[in-house]
Amino acid sequence: MDPQAGIDRFGYQQELRRGVGLADLVFYGLVMMVPIAPFAIFGLVYSRSGGMPVMAYLVGVVALLFTAISYAQMVRAFPLSGSVYNYAGRGIAPPVGFMTGWAILLDYLLVPSLLYLVASIAMNSSLPGVPVWAWLIFFVAVNTIINLRGIRMTITITKVMIVAELAVLALFLTAGVWALTQGYGRGFSLAPLFNPDTFSWPIVFAAVSVAVLSFLGFDGISMLVEESTGGSEQVGRAMRIALLLAGVLFIAQVWVAALLVPDPQGLLTSASGTAFYDSAQVAGGEWLRQVTSTATAVSWGIANTLVAQVAVSRLLYAMARDRQLPSFLARISVKNAVPANAILLISALSVGLGLWMSTRPDGVDFLSSLINMGALVAFIVLHLSVIVHYTIRGRSKNVWSHLIAPLIGLSVLVFVVIHANVMAQVVGLIWFVVGGVVLGALYLLGRPPTLRPSALTKEPV
C-alpha cells in the first residue's frame, strides 16, 4: 500500500517538507546509537556477561529488532512525529501514554548525564591531569552554549560524524585482527560468544540489560516520520537496517576487544570503565588507546548529546504542551529558536547528576541501568500497544506482526528487566510510583491526560 495513502486514510496531511531519505534516516539512527558505543561500556558488559559480550549484544539486537517491528506498526497506525508516549497514548489510552512517557522520560532525562560522564571518563583516561568533574563541566558548558545558540545537527554533519566514527572503528578492527594474528591476546576463539563454563540465561539477560544501552536511540528515527520521503514504511525499514548495522558493528568490535583483554579474570571480577581502551592498547599501542578514548569523548560528549538534547526537548515540549508537565517546559526562546527552558533544565540536571555519579565507582553502571530500565519498560508497553490497537481493537488477521512478534519481543524484554541491576529496579519502581502519584494529581486537578493533537496535525478520524 502506498504509505501516503495510509496517512490520508486517517485524515492526516503531509506536514513537514519530506526531504529525508532512507540513507539519511539510517545515518540519523546510527548517530543516535553511536557506532562505537560499546567502547564506553565494554568492561561492564564483559564483566556482567561472564566474558560473553558477543552473546549479550546478539540477544540485545534480536530483542530490539522485535521492538523495531512494533515501532513500525505503530508509526504506520499513527504517522506523526512523536515517541512511544504518543503511540501508547493513542494505541491504548491516554493515561497509559502518560505512564509510558514518564517511563521513557527516565531514559531521556538521564541520557545526557551518562553521555557527559562517559565522555569525561574517556578524556580523563587520555589526560589524567584533568579530573573527571572538570571535563564534565566543560562538556556540559560547551553543549549548553551550542544548544542555546540554536546550532543544530544537520544531515551533513551527521554523515561526517558517522564516517569519522566508522574510520576509528575500522582502525581498531584492523589493528586488533592484525594483533591477534601476531599472537597478541588469546587468538581467535568463540568464547566471547559462548563460554560453557560461565553460560546461564540469567547471566546473559543481566548482560543484555546493560548492552541494550548501545542500541538506544534507534527509536529516534521515528521522530523523522513526517520528513521521510517514503513515509512510515521507510521509517520502519530504516529502523531495522540501522539496528542490524549497529548489531554487526557492535558484535565485531566487542569480539575483537574481548580477545585482547589483557587481564580477563580481573575484568570479570571488577568491571573497568577503560577496558576497551586497554584492549586497544594491546592491539595498537598507546596511540590507539588515545584515538579510541578521544573518539568516545567526542562522539558521546558532543555529537550524541546534540541529538539527545533535541530528543529530550521534543518529549518535554510535547508532554508540557499536553499539560502533563509544567508549562514552562513548553516555552521556547524565539530569539534562537530553541526550547531554552528544557535545555537549561537538562544541563542543570546533567551537572548535578553527572558530578554525583562521577564520585560513585558504579556511576556509569547505575546510570545506564536506570536509562535502560526506563526504555525497556516503555518498549514493553509499545509491544502491548500493538496488540491492543491491532489485534484487540482492530481484530487484525496479521497474527505474526500484530500478536506473535510483539509477544516475543515483550517476553524477551520482561526477562531482561527481571534480571537487571536490582538497585535500578528499585529506583525505577520509585520513579513509576512517583509517575502514578503525578497521574493521580492530574486527575484530582481536573486535568486528566488527553493527547491533544499538535496544533499542526489532524487527529485520526
Closest to another protein by CB, 309 or 369: 309
Site for another protein in 221-280 (CB under 8 A): 223-224, 227
For the CB of residue 145, give the shortest distance to another protein in the complex, in Å: 16
Written as one string, the DSSP assignment of 395-439 is --S-HIIIIIHHHHHHHHHHHHHHTS-HHHHHHHHHHHHHHHHHH
- Name the segment binding another protein (CB under 8 A); options: 204-212, 257-265, 335-343, 420-428: 335-343
344 binds another protein (CB under 8 A): no
Residue of the chain from 98, 116, 276, 317 that contacts another protein (CB under 8 A): 317
CA–CA distance, 82 with 30 (Å, rounded to integer): 19
- Name the segment binding another protein (CB under 8 A); options: 83-91, 284-292, 413-421, 448-456: 448-456
459 binds another protein (CB under 8 A): no
116 binds another protein (CB under 8 A): no
Is residue 304 within 8 A of residue 144, CB to CB? The reply is no
Q: Among 445, 389, 412, 390, which residue's Cα sits nearest to residue 91?
A: 389
Residue of the chain from 48, 76, 90, 314 that contacts another protein (CB under 8 A): 314
C-alpha cell at 374: 526506563
CA–CA distance, 161 with 438 (Å, rounded to integer): 39
Residue of the chain from 332, 349, 403, 414 that contacts another protein (CB under 8 A): 332
Closest to another protein by CB, 335 or 393: 335
Where b means 16+ CB within 10 Å and e means fewer, 134-165 reads ebbbbbbeebbebbbeeeebeeeebbebbebb
Is residue 217 within 8 A of residue 33, CB to CB? The reply is yes
CA–CA distance, 304 with 286 (Å, rounded to integer): 25
Give whole-number Cα distances, 411 to 66, 102, 392, 405, in Å.
10, 21, 19, 10
360 binds another protein (CB under 8 A): no
108 binds another protein (CB under 8 A): no
Please, which residues have CB within 8 angstroms of residue 328's CB and are 6 or more apart in sequence?
320, 341
CA–CA distance, 360 with 366 (Å, rounded to integer): 9
Is residue 368 within 8 A of residue 424, CB to CB? The reply is no
- Name the segment binding another protein (CB under 8 A); options: 242-250, 379-387, 434-442, 452-460: 452-460
420 binds another protein (CB under 8 A): no
Residue of the chain from 8, 14, 23, 174 that contacts another protein (CB under 8 A): 14
Residue of the chain from 6, 15, 195, 432 that contacts another protein (CB under 8 A): 15
Q: Helix 340-358 to helix 305-321 angle, to the nearest 10 degrees?
A: 120
Cα of 239 vs its chain's centroid, Å = 12
Q: Among 81, 102, 77, which residue's Cα sits nearest to residue 90?
A: 77
Binding mask 154-193 for another protein (x = CB under 8 A): xx--------------------------------------
16 binds another protein (CB under 8 A): yes
Cα of 325 vs its chain's centroid, Å = 22
Closest to another protein by CB, 137 or 153: 153
- Name the segment binding another protein (CB under 8 A); options: 229-237, 291-299, 312-320, 410-418: 312-320
Residue of the chain from 1, 2, 5, 17 that contacts another protein (CB under 8 A): 17
Q: Among 324, 320, 322, 321, which residue's Cα sits nearest to residue 451?
A: 322
SS3 state at 338 = strand
For the CB of residue 32, give the shortest distance to another protein in the complex, in Å: 10
Closest to another protein by CB, 15 or 362: 15
For the CB of residue 87, give the shortest distance to another protein in the complex, in Å: 18
30 binds another protein (CB under 8 A): no
Is residue 299 within 8 A of residue 165, CB to CB? The reply is yes
Residue 394 gets which letter from DSSP? S
C-alpha cell at 251: 558484535
Residue of the chain from 1, 334, 445, 461 that contacts another protein (CB under 8 A): 334
Binding footprint of another protein, residue count (CB under 8 A): 34
Closest to another protein by CB, 29 or 428: 29
Residue of the chain from 28, 42, 108, 276 that contacts another protein (CB under 8 A): 28
Site for another protein in 136-155 (CB under 8 A): 150, 152-155
Question: 3-state DSSP: the chain helix, strand, coil percent, rounded to 5?
Answer: 75, 0, 25
Closest to another protein by CB, 198 or 333: 333
323 binds another protein (CB under 8 A): no
- Name the segment binding another protein (CB under 8 A); options: 12-20, 201-209, 234-242, 372-380: 12-20
- Name the segment binding another protein (CB under 8 A); options: 8-16, 266-274, 280-288, 393-401: 8-16
Point out which residues bind another protein (CB under 8 A): 13-17, 20, 28, 150, 152-155, 223-224, 227, 307, 310, 313-314, 317, 321, 330, 332-339, 454-456, 458
